[in-house]
Structure 1
Amino acid sequence: MSVRNLDHLFAPRSIAVIGVSSHAGSLGAMVLRNVRDAGFRGSIWAVNRHSGEVDGIPLLAGVAELPAAPDLAVLCTPAESVPELIAALAAKGTKAAIVLSARLHDAAPEGGTLQDAMLQAARPHLLRVLGPNCLGALVPEHGLNASFAPGNATPGGIAFATQSGALATAMLDWANAHGIGFSHFISLGDSADVDAGDVLDYLASDGHTRAILLYLESVQHARKFMSAARAAARNKPVIVVKAGRAPEGARAAASHTGALAGSDLVFDAAVRRAGMLRVDTLEALFDAAATLARPVAWRGERLAVVTNGGGAGVLAADALSLAGGTLAQLSPATLAALDQVLPAGWSHGNPVDLIGDAPVQRYTQALRILLDAAEVDGVLFLHAPTAIVPARDIAEACVPLLRGAPKTVLSGWLGGRTVEPARALFRDAQLACYETPEQAVAGWMQLVHYHRNQEALLQLPDAHPPEVKVDADAAAAILRDAARSGRDWLDEAEAKAVLEAYGIATVATRRVRDVEEALDAAQEIGYPVALKVVSAQIQHKSDVGGVVLDLASGEDLRRAMVRMRQRLDRAVPNAHIAGFTVQKMIQRPGARELIVGIADDNVFGPVLMFGQGGTAVELLQDRSLELPPLNAALARGMVARTRIGRLLGGYRGQAGVDEPALVDALLRVSQLACDLCELAELDINPLLADAHGVLALDARIRLRAPGTTPGSRLALRPYPSSLEAEIAVDGTPLRVRPIRPEDGAALATFYAQAPAGDLRLRFFLARREVPRSELARFCQIDYEREMAFVAMAGDRIAGEARAICDPDNLQAEFAIQVASDWQRRGLGRQLMDKLLAYLRARGTREVFGICLQENAGMVRLARSRGFEVTAGDEGTMRMRLVLRQEAAPAPDEAASKLSAT
């Protein structure tokens, strides 16, 4: 991931257009005209092999003729010329290029592709490439239109990035027609270098961008994309529409998990985990941006609808119900207050029907009551035009009440020209405005889903997570043994042994070769038993008669094995029968059959699945997906998103399942996905769950090809347990480890117990407490980009040291805080050494921090570790330590997010 030199791409001071022809309709001439007509204020140069001029701009014979290295070069030349031009530009000092040319996947004369040759020429000089095969980029704030779009973009607060060039031109035309402006309009093309992750990183810190819109067709680097998306979504709304939502068609799969975990569902899980919002259409993309980019006082999901037309209210209520929304239940006090201001014939419920003849005062009185009602989180105001009161009069009266309301307010002005003045007043007041009840409800549900995802991104799980002790070495040995024998699948006994190594309860199972061994096994584990075939060629055993249940005696078992062999000979004559398993029959009336599994996604790697199990699992399609690693809150969320999850709490006298046991099983499967790179697919189906716990009745595990690095295939870097260590301070043992999401309560106590002076030194301002959202941000870190070490004295945090690295890993900003009773005892020094060792190991170039001048202890600590300490602005001190000797730019203190104490 990298944002290096993207300022040259999106805010250049000079531009060279390469491949400009004097022919007015040529690509180069069109791009040059766009660059000039957009009002670009820097130098503009045009390059062509032939002399002359275009639109008054002289043509230069080649890159060597450029008077200086342009910040940005736009290449409009044939594909075969691109690598050589990129090499010449890079050598001259150009730091960014937009390659509009297509066909760079063609073979290059020296081997590989033209795109490979282009990148090889660019990388040594850190020249960034947008494209190839793209439309270009537009940044109205800087007068930049380096594209062949048929028009320009108007300035605005929305950034739009798309992987489709054809869609980009249509979208730009549509946006201009609807008055939608952009901070950036970026066509990514083939994303050979600059991709969606890079753009997200850049736009996340751009002050002109209020919301980021993405049109994606694929994700190339999952971990990079997820880190960038999570960082951006914490700063501003990120809304994505992705092609390929519809299934490509049913595909055969060897396991239920593989059949159910479709790639589009995995993308949904990734979007939710990153705190973004996914929508289905391009129109919904801009509707969501218009809604989310406005300041919204979000209180919750309970919506009240107020309207002057009963039909409009019913349509809104229907749309809300179908979308899974929540209609607020008005309290007796609210209903009584509305009775006082509304005529006798009003609806006496939600939606609140004001009656068609409602005067202006009736609107404002009803709205004021609903805004004050504790049971209402948001209000949808719907108006249908009447001849009694002009819509503009109603809008003029309502705007002062609704602007800055303590709750979310959406509006729907139904109709055309009659209500347009009212719409204009609401839009000018930054109030979300829609044309139909259904569109308004869709806007509300976008807010609902967005805030659900944001809550998941910033959650604080249980303070005391269940400890997951596993024997990863034993499980890995089973997988390696199977791989050495050339098998793709473990047999059932091996699969259950893997589960047992991870502490997941399984039913007693014995592997046997013949009838006599089966009888001995059944005698050992006790009747009744189940008999199952073991064959690498048979995965769905029950489909071919490879399962017999409830065998109550030795004679039953003997007959069942004979008949099973006969059935298998007919159904799968070419299958090799490696043996059988004898399994204890479990009698647990009322237990729910669930499925828990791991599938392997081509982009996002391992993905976890939970849902309703049994033989009809594909038919029921009741499942939820999540990316590992899980914590307890995420595990409970997986369960809650399924239909079967709503039944697990018990109903109609049936006891609920042991939720802690189910959550524990999900956490263990998540740990298994993180630990075992040899595992490609896991099915636990059924997983029985009842009030007594969970039990895996059947399990299948598929192996992946050898050579995968542990953890590298995970889209999210898991908790780095290898960084845990024991230290001693004044003879007292402390455990230093990376912070975990579950540390929120301990961190809150750590800050709450700190003296006011310490908090001021840490945060540069006086504060009594750290908000929950900030605590979540400090605990829910992305281990791919940042690290926070906590020194634990039992359950109490004695000190913390954290660093946030830039996307290029060039600079890391650090902060340290030590509890008052642990200060001046050497803990800060040990935490600093731990942090610096970590940053050196990950290859960070330099580390910096800022502290107040009065923070003498921090200054002494920094100098003792080799930091260069200089006076900064406004009473601060700057601390900088080079970890690697390459030159690095000075940090931008204005963008500093951390301080040190």
Structure 2
Amino acid sequence: MVCTMKRETGVDLGRLFSPRSIAVAGASSSPGKPGRLVLENLKGSTARLYAVHPRHREVLGVPAFPDVAALPEVVDLLVVAVGAVQTVPIVRAARERGVPFVIALAGGFAEAGAEGCALQDELVRLLESVESTASRAPTRLLGPNTLGVQVPGSGLDTIFVEHATEALTPGGVAVISQSGSVAVEALGAAARHRFPLRAFAGLGNAIDLKSAEFIDFFSRDGETGTICVYLEHLGEGRPLLRAARDASRRLPVFFLKAGRTAAGAAAAASHTGRLAGSDRVVDGALRQFGIQRVRDDEALLDAARAVTFARIPRGNRVAIITPAGGYGVMGMDYIEATAGVGALQPAVLGDSTKKELARVCLPFAAIANPVDLTAGVDDESFDRAVRILLRDPGVDILLIMAFLAPAGLSEGLIGRIGRAVSESERSVLVFCRSGERTEEYCRAFTDAGVAAYDSLSRTIEAARVLVTRGEIEGKNGARGSAGELARTPVNRPGDFLATWLPQFSSGDGRQPTEADTKALLGAYGIAVPRSLLLSPENAPDPDSLHFATIPAPWAVKVVSPRILHKTEAGAVRLGVTRENLGEILRDLRARFPEEDILVEEMIRDISVEMIAGALRDPDLGPSLMLGAGGTLAELYRDVTFRLVPASPGDIGEMMEELALSPLLRGYRGIVADREALRECLLALSGLAEAMGDRLAELDVNPLVYAGDRWIALDAKVVLAPS
């Protein structure tokens, strides 16, 4: 079921998060009612507060008025805490009064079926009508089906379920969430160690105000240092990614995108479609736009804590200092096991660093990395050792294991570490564990301005977050201020495509064959094997065929859009010679009498097999794929994606992300021309862009390197209806 969504209109959200006046429609004195809970929350606000109630003149000591029209002023924010049916006329009244912001808390709209969808459509029509008929600024709506907003320190809090308050200190992290419950629970968990929240915004059904507008606002408000976003879908499409990319050039942006499963891949008609699943395109797009992705709600706020309290490192070299050697060893195991984006490596301590450590540490301490101070350490020597490591130019990140169990260590060490961190330019993370007092000590580290975690794995992951952010900032600097995806001139034979596509627009559902697809690839400058196409209507005696231009041996294939896997269908023969060509052609013709047969040269001396392709994502549009190819492509699933148009830099990153990337760098003498591969992929990117909405899936598997060129040995395209 599809409900209407209001079109986006840019607006300053300042009065939503810093309202001078607030009214609560549905205010109640009845225990447990949302209208009571919200009103009680807002009584602590600095804004002028009113209640809307049809009978009472006051509610919980707050002056009450019978309807929105009777309010003594046009409030900045109206919180609607009534049921779905009653919400609609109240929003209409707010529109007529010129209220700039409305939060509609009620559920029972599109998420509740046909009747709710009709109510939601009515809300959208109301919001659209103010834009077309009124001279005043439009009313903007958050929700419906939302918990609203929370701004620590100001008393603005519309959340009507149990949630963290005191432990969420005013700070620089903005949290935007399609699911209010996910964000509220995550913030509650993070608040155990205290958490610096700028603001929370629950999007709900997001019929009007959407993620992109909140991201843009927080990235420019001067109070936000980090943006965290929880999403269950990317229905906002590329405008959302562009807003997040622009924000990422100013501050860290983290996305938790739920729904990583590949259930939708089963219906795909090509290797590319099945390898994409439901999530790989999203993963590549977020990397392409400089948006860091995390795996769950805990990791989302852990990442925010890291970039809030730790400096962005200039590299990925990590040193560990610990009073417990076993944890130091485990830490190094974690570090050396990291790979790919945000990979870490152990720092190599300088000789001068080791000499200084030897002077302040016990004789039996280990002064290599990890530095094991042993349980005999005291506050003074721990502090001095930390400062020595922070001066080592070979250390980018210092991971401090702060266990206060040794007799010589006290709570005073927390303040010492905090001062050392504030005086250093190095990035510092703390892994703190101390039995029942772990939470207390982690809060103390937060108060001291240090990022602290209560598990080793979370601390290591925080280090990866910092390194990845450093990589993004480096790329942002290299890219300058370019605003759109880079477009690189490629061979785009529009005349050929203009005549090629209409062949498959008759409405009979006909799809291109392998031969059709290879003709298209060839027009875009991608090499294909020399071949001869034999149709059922024109099937000469094989013995009379002249193949002077196509030397034996050959690959002989049945080409049909109805055959997805030629090998499994017995529709391909390899290594065919002049002696057995006639027999094989007669056999294939008998088994597939209505299909074309393609006779191709066999490509020899193949050094690398890749898969390349493109597909159209329903939310994000066309994307480009590269991965390990051949018959085992779907087994290895070593693939990566970028949105189209892809730049040369995007394609370079794709190559590096693959597990087989060493093959493209000459592993064990294997030859593969990276620049030629880049040109092939740029051509595919241009083709995917030019095909527009007609592209569903495009598959080149394998794309092989043989001799001195990349050649598309097999290819398939699936077209969407015209």
Do both proteins adopt the same fold according to a TM-score greater than 0.5, normalized to the shorter chain? Answer: yes
1:249–1:352 Cα change, 3 Å? farther
Q: How many angstroms apart in 2 are the aligned matches of 1:122 and 1:421? A: 48
Q: How many angstroms apart in 2 are the aligned matches of 1:75 and 1:310? A: 57
Deviation at residue 175 of structure 1 after TM alignment: 4.6
Alignment pair present for 1:508 and 2:513: no
CA distances 1:283-325 after superposition (whole Å, capped 9, x unpaired): 2222111111125041101111222222011110112233323
CA distances 1:74-124 after superposition (whole Å, capped 9, x unpaired): 222332333333222212211211111222237899x97221221111123
Alignment pair present for 1:403 and 2:422: yes
* Number of equivalenced pairs: 692
Aligned partner (choices 140, 143, 147) of residue 128 of structure 1? 140
The answer for the alignment partner of 1:557 in structure 2 is 581
Q: Map of 1:728-877 to 2, 5 A cutoff?
A: none
| 1:227 aligned counterpart, secondary structure | helix
The answer for the alignment partner of 2:149 in structure 1 is 137
**Which shifted more, 532-541 or 238-247?**
238-247
Q: How many angstroms apart in 2 are the aligned matches of 1:20 and 1:308? A: 56
Letter in 2 for 1:377: D
Alignment pair present for 1:236 and 2:241: no
Q: How many angstroms apart in 2 are the aligned matches of 1:30 and 1:397? A: 43
Deviation at residue 427 of structure 1 after TM alignment: 3.2
Aligned partner (choices 19, 32, 39) of residue 45 of structure 2? 39
**Which shifted more, 577-586 or 353-362?**
353-362
Deviation at residue 398 of structure 1 after TM alignment: 4.4
Deviation at residue 429 of structure 1 after TM alignment: 3.5
| 1:158 aligned counterpart, secondary structure | strand
Alignment pair present for 1:622 and 2:622: no
Q: How many angstroms apart in 1 are the aligned matches of 2:495 and 2:371? A: 63
Deviation at residue 457 of structure 1 after TM alignment: 4.3
The answer for the alignment partner of 1:532 in structure 2 is 557
Q: How many angstroms apart in 1 are the aligned matches of 2:464 and 2:357? A: 29
Deviation at residue 58 of structure 1 after TM alignment: 4.5
Deviation at residue 231 of structure 1 after TM alignment: 1.6
1:671–1:561 Cα change, 3 Å? same
Deviation at residue 393 of structure 1 after TM alignment: 5.0
The answer for the alignment partner of 2:603 in structure 1 is 586
Deviation at residue 517 of structure 1 after TM alignment: 7.4
Q: How many angstroms apart in 2 are the aligned matches of 1:637 and 1:645? A: 10
Aligned partner (choices 92, 99, 108) of residue 94 of structure 1? 99
Aligned partner (choices 501, 517, 525) of residue 479 of structure 1? 501
Q: How many angstroms apart in 2 are the aligned matches of 1:513 and 1:162? A: 57
Work out whether residues 499 and 505 of structure 1, in 8 Å CA contact, stay in contact via their aligned partners in 2: yes
Letter in 2 for 1:694: W
| 1:159 aligned counterpart, secondary structure | strand
Q: How many angstroms apart in 2 are the aligned matches of 1:632 and 1:3? A: 33
Q: Which residues of structure 2 form unaligned runs of 5+? A: 1-7, 131-137
Work out whether residues 138 and 184 of structure 1, in 8 Å CA contact, stay in contact via their aligned partners in 2: yes
1:223–1:337 Cα change, 3 Å? same
Q: Map of 1:109-188 to 2, 5 A cutoff?
A: 113-125=118-130, 126-150=138-162, 153=165, 154=168, 155-188=170-203
Aligned partner (choices 423, 431, 446) of residue 450 of structure 2? 431
Q: Map of 1:662-677 to 2, 5 A cutoff?
A: 662-677=677-692
1:701–1:388 Cα change, 3 Å? same
Letter in 2 for 1:66: L
The answer for the alignment partner of 1:447 in structure 2 is 466
Letter in 2 for 1:469: N
| 2:217 aligned counterpart, secondary structure | helix
1:399–1:93 Cα change, 3 Å? closer
Alignment pair present for 1:316 and 2:331: yes
Deviation at residue 700 of structure 1 after TM alignment: 0.7
Letter in 1 for 2:80: L
Work out whether residues 514 and 559 of structure 2, in 8 Å CA contact, stay in contact via their aligned partners in 1: yes
Q: Map of 1:691-706 to 2, 5 A cutoff?
A: 692-706=708-722
| 1:682 aligned counterpart, secondary structure | strand
Letter in 2 for 1:69: V
1:81–1:374 Cα change, 3 Å? same
The answer for the alignment partner of 2:133 in structure 1 is none
Letter in 1 for 2:328: G
1:25–1:331 Cα change, 3 Å? closer
| 2:718 aligned counterpart, secondary structure | strand
Q: How many angstroms apart in 2 are the aligned matches of 1:453 and 1:487? A: 44
TM-score, normalised to structure 1, is: 0.72
Work out whether residues 553 and 575 of structure 2, in 8 Å CA contact, stay in contact via their aligned partners in 1: yes
1:218–1:423 Cα change, 3 Å? closer
Work out whether residues 310 and 353 of structure 1, in 8 Å CA contact, stay in contact via their aligned partners in 2: yes
1:383–1:592 Cα change, 3 Å? same
Q: How many angstroms apart in 2 are the aligned matches of 1:59 and 1:370? A: 62
The answer for the alignment partner of 2:703 in structure 1 is 687
Work out whether residues 684 and 696 of structure 1, in 8 Å CA contact, stay in contact via their aligned partners in 2: yes
Aligned partner (choices 1, 7, 31) of residue 14 of structure 2? 7
Aligned partner (choices 35, 40, 45) of residue 28 of structure 1? 35
Give the superposed CA RMSD. 3.0
Work out whether residues 241 and 289 of structure 2, in 8 Å CA contact, stay in contact via their aligned partners in 1: yes
CA distances 1:698-738 after superposition (whole Å, capped 9, x unpaired): 111111222xxxxxxxxxxxxxxxxxxxxxxxxxxxxxxxx
Deviation at residue 35 of structure 1 after TM alignment: 2.1
Work out whether residues 141 and 183 of structure 1, in 8 Å CA contact, stay in contact via their aligned partners in 2: no
Letter in 2 for 1:473: D
Work out whether residues 385 and 418 of structure 1, in 8 Å CA contact, stay in contact via their aligned partners in 2: no
Aligned partner (choices 582, 591, 611) of residue 595 of structure 1? 611
Deviation at residue 130 of structure 1 after TM alignment: 0.5
Work out whether residues 414 and 445 of structure 2, in 8 Å CA contact, stay in contact via their aligned partners in 1: yes
Letter in 2 for 1:656: V
The answer for the alignment partner of 1:208 in structure 2 is 223
Q: How many angstroms apart in 2 are the aligned matches of 1:466 and 1:241? A: 31
Letter in 2 for 1:586: I
Q: How many angstroms apart in 1 are the aligned matches of 2:563 and 2:617? A: 23
Letter in 2 for 1:505: A
Q: How many angstroms apart in 1 are the aligned matches of 2:418 and 2:61? A: 52
Deviation at residue 377 of structure 1 after TM alignment: 1.9
Work out whether residues 5 and 128 of structure 1, in 8 Å CA contact, stay in contact via their aligned partners in 2: no
CA distances 1:730-753 after superposition (whole Å, capped 9, x unpaired): xxxxxxxxxxxxxxxxxxxxxxxx
The answer for the alignment partner of 1:712 in structure 2 is none
| 1:516 aligned counterpart, secondary structure | coil
Work out whether residues 488 and 702 of structure 1, in 8 Å CA contact, stay in contact via their aligned partners in 2: no
Work out whether residues 323 and 403 of structure 2, in 8 Å CA contact, stay in contact via their aligned partners in 1: yes
| 1:182 aligned counterpart, secondary structure | strand
Work out whether residues 297 and 406 of structure 1, in 8 Å CA contact, stay in contact via their aligned partners in 2: no
Deviation at residue 145 of structure 1 after TM alignment: 1.9
1:179–1:421 Cα change, 3 Å? closer
Q: Which residues of structure 1 form unaligned runs of 5+? A: 570-575, 707-901
The answer for the alignment partner of 2:24 in structure 1 is 17
Letter in 2 for 1:19: G
Work out whether residues 273 and 456 of structure 1, in 8 Å CA contact, stay in contact via their aligned partners in 2: no
Deviation at residue 28 of structure 1 after TM alignment: 2.3
Alignment pair present for 1:354 and 2:373: yes
Q: How many angstroms apart in 1 are the aligned matches of 2:379 and 2:242? A: 50
CA distances 1:315-350 after superposition (whole Å, capped 9, x unpaired): 101122333233335266357536743566554642
Letter in 1 for 2:596: G
The answer for the alignment partner of 2:54 in structure 1 is 49
| 2:279 aligned counterpart, secondary structure | helix
The answer for the alignment partner of 1:330 in structure 2 is 348
Work out whether residues 357 and 385 of structure 2, in 8 Å CA contact, stay in contact via their aligned partners in 1: no
Letter in 2 for 1:412: F
Deviation at residue 655 of structure 1 after TM alignment: 3.4
**Which shifted more, 163-172 or 489-498?**
163-172
TM-score, normalised to structure 2, is: 0.88
Of structures 1 and 2, the one with the larger relative CO (CA 8 A, separation 6+) is 2
Letter in 1 for 2:625: M
Deviation at residue 417 of structure 1 after TM alignment: 5.8
Letter in 2 for 1:35: L
